[in-house]
Structure 1
């Protein structure tokens, strides 16, 4: 039966079944987690909100909360994104990181992990949604972890770029080590 002739409920059911199969294929079984922690991973202050909403709110600043998510699954610790570089905690006013956006960190990621009883070496897997500074800023802390990132982000990092911030963040992904500033 062609998809167009199925009811919307049947199409949703088909999509759900396909997603379930995909999760099963990746993990060997349906995905469940034992614990989830939402970590404060910094704040990004953009001087012009219209960058995110073309044609609206031109010249108005935007404050964006950044989070990292720590999951425990079958005794393994997994981190989704690593936030803004925790070294910015030493700069109370933050620092311009990319495209005029100021990054602020009030509590280092390693301090939050320590409160849970963990160190970066305890994290077995790091999932990076994409290669922006507010997602990969602390990637260097997880050198022993398996890293996963979209192929598109690694291609962008492989491309030649003249932007110093992009070069710095991409070298973090490529080597697991921070680039010299």
Structure 2
């Protein structure tokens, strides 16, 4: 058995957050330079790239407000990012699954936070649809957040199964 003191800190996974931020910002810059606003570019029968701006939160929540939501969501994103870093630091050395989930969420939150600070809105461009039903447009940051949150849910399910097995 390996010595816990020699195990890696969960902070070692912060490179994933940085990767998510870099990929997110690079793809948003590409979308801004290659796409015309609100003009879909066909990729697959269920996928378009459509440049859109979201001044609200997920699924354009509060997007129709008069601008206060920019600063509200900026503060929420900053607070969540700090909380995630603190949580990450407190995880046991050698942890892998949960630190990866948290750093993906952190990278996504910071990617969208950069947009809010620089532009006052989040840049979205990935648009999935089926016939005339469209899923809200999203970006790489949103994908990182979704993947990290899914991993957290799977971690909770695994822990519940482990607890039942011990009982």
TM over 0.5: no
The structure that is helix-richer by fraction is 2
The structure that is strand-richer by fraction is 1
Computing the radius of gyration from Cα coordinates, the structure with the larger value is: 1
Higher relative contact order (CA closer than 8 Å, sequence separation 6+): 2
